[in-house]
Structure 1
Amino acid sequence: MEHDGDVIAELIADHREVEEYFARFDQAPPGSEERKRLVDALTIELVRHSVAQEHYLYPAVRKYLDGGHALADRELADHGRIEHLLNELQQRQTPDEDFAYLVRRLRTEVTAHVDEEENDLYLQMRSNVDAAVLQELGDKIRRSKKTSPIRPHPAAPDEQPAGKALAPDLGLVDRVRDYLTGRRHT
C-alpha cells in the first residue's frame, strides 16, 4: 500500500499494516496456506520498511538528534534480530512445528521495536527536525520501497554506502526469484 505524508506518517502507516498482517495471521487456520501467504506479505512489508529506514531515517537520526549514533545503532540491532527471524520463517512451512512459535517471536520483536520508535524516536524527530526535511525523507522512503529488497538478506551490509548501493540489485533479484517460484505479493 502506498502512503503519503512526511517520514513519520509514512512509517507509522507501515506499522499499522504490519499489525494488520499479524491480526490476519491469528485469524487464519493453523497450518494453512493462508498463514504462509500472510507471512510472505509480512516479510515483504518488514524488509521494505527496514531497508528504507536504514537508508534514509537512521542517517537523519545520526545527523539531527543528540545521541543519534547510539539510537541508530540500537535500531539497526533490532532490525538485525527481526531479519534473522524473517530468514528463519522463510525456510519453514506452516505445518512445521516451530512456524507459529517463530511468528510469535517475530511479533514480540516487532512490537517492542515499533513501540520504541513511535514513543521515543519519532517524537524526537518531530521535535528536532524541520518539517520540510521530514517531508523530503518521506518522499525518499516511498521511492526507496519501490525497488528495495523484499526478502531478508541478513548478510547484506546495513551501513552506507554499501547497503544503499546493493539494495536495488537485491530488490530486482528478489522480484525475479518470486516470479519464478510463484511467491505472490499482497
Structure 2
Amino acid sequence: MGHGGDVIAELTTDHQEVEDFFKNIQALPVGDPRRKHYADKATIELVRHSVAEEAYLYPAVREHLPEGDALADKELEDHAAAEQIMKDLEGCDADDPRFNELINKLMTDIRAHVTDEETNLFPRLRAMCSAETLAELGDKVRTAKKTAPTRPHPSAPDKPPANKLLAPGVGLVDRLRDMMSGRGKDS
C-alpha cells in the first residue's frame, strides 16, 4: 500500500508488488482457483496505483515535462485499456476459458507500461523535478491509495478534479464489498 520515499520509489515498489502477483499466477496451473485470488490482488493494487497516478503523477508530468500532455495522455490510454481488461477479468473464475487469455493480456500490457514508465517517464520526471517536489508527490500518492477504489471502473473520470472528488466514495464502496466477500484477503 504505502512504502515511503518519493513518488518514483513509491510507484516502482508498487510495480514490483504487481509483478510478484503475476509471477504467482504464472507458477500455478491453468484453472487453479488461486490464480483468481492473485488476479484479484493484482487488480486491487493496479486500480489503487492507477487512481493515484491519475490524480497526482500525470498532472505533474503535464506541468513539468516538455511534451507532458502527450506523455500523460498516452499513460491514461494505457490505464483505460488495462482497466477494461481487469473489468472483464472480474467476471471470470480461474477455470473460465477467457480467464487465461485475459490475464495473459493484462500481464503483457502492464509489463510494457511499467517498462515504459521506469525507463522513460520516471527518469525524465526525476531530471525535471526537485527532490522536494518528488517527495511531496510521494506523500500525495500514498494518501490517495488509502482511499482509492479497489475494483475497475472503466467509465469513471481519470483526470482532476472529478477523479479526486469521486475516487474516495467509490473506494469506500469497493472496500466494503471486498470486506463482505473476502476478496483480496489471504486465507
Q: TM-score, normalised by structure 1?
A: 0.97
Tell me, yes or no, if the aligned pair for 2:44 and 2:184 is still in contact at 8 Å: no
Judged with a 3 Å threshold, the aligned counterparts in structure 2 of structure 1 residues 185 and 147 are, in CA distance, closer, same or farther, namely farther
Give the equivalent residue in structure 2 for 1:105. Answer: 105
- Tell me the SS of whatever aligns to 1:21: helix
Is 1:39 matched with 2:39?
yes
Between the aligned partners of 2:165 and 2:135, the Cα distance in structure 1 is: 23
Task: Name the aligned partner's letter for residue 118 of structure 1.
Answer: E
Q: What is the aligned length?
A: 186
Looking at structure 1, the residues matched to 178 and 135 of structure 2 have their Cα atoms a distance apart, in angstroms, of 32
**Structure 2 match to 1:125:** 125
Cross-structure match for 2:147: 147
**Aligned-pair CA distance for 1:182:** 2.7
Separation of aligned partners in 1, 2:134 and 2:184: 32
Return the alpha-carbon distance in structure 2 between the equivalents of residues 23 and 111 of structure 1. 12
Q: Secondary structure at the match of 1:98?
A: helix
The whole-number CA distance in structure 2 between the counterparts of 1:173 and 1:79 is: 21
Q: CA deviation at 1:61?
A: 0.3
Tell me if 1:52 matches 2:58: no
Question: How many angstroms apart in 2 are the aligned matches of 1:185 and 1:145?
Answer: 17
Give me the whole-angstrom Cα distance separating, in 1, the residues matched to 2:96 and 2:9: 37
Amino acid across the alignment from 2:78: D
Q: CA RMSD in A?
A: 1.0
Deviation at 1:79, TM superposition (A): 0.2
Q: Give the drift of 1:2.
A: 2.9
CA distance in structure 2 between the aligned counterparts of 1:125 and 1:138, rounded to whole angstroms = 13
- 2:14–2:45 contact (8 Å) kept in structure 1: yes
Give 1:29 deviation, angstroms. 2.8
Please list, as runs of the form range in 1=range in 2, the aligned pairs for 1:77-92 lying within 5 A after superposition. 77-92=77-92
Query: Does 2:170 match 1:166?
Result: no
The runs of 5 or more residues in structure 2 that have no matched partner are: none
The answer to whether 1:70 aligns with 2:70 is yes
Q: State the identity as a percent.
A: 52
Q: Which runs of 5+ in 1 are unaligned?
A: none
List 4+ stretches of structure 1 deviating above 4 A. none
Shift of 1:180: 2.3
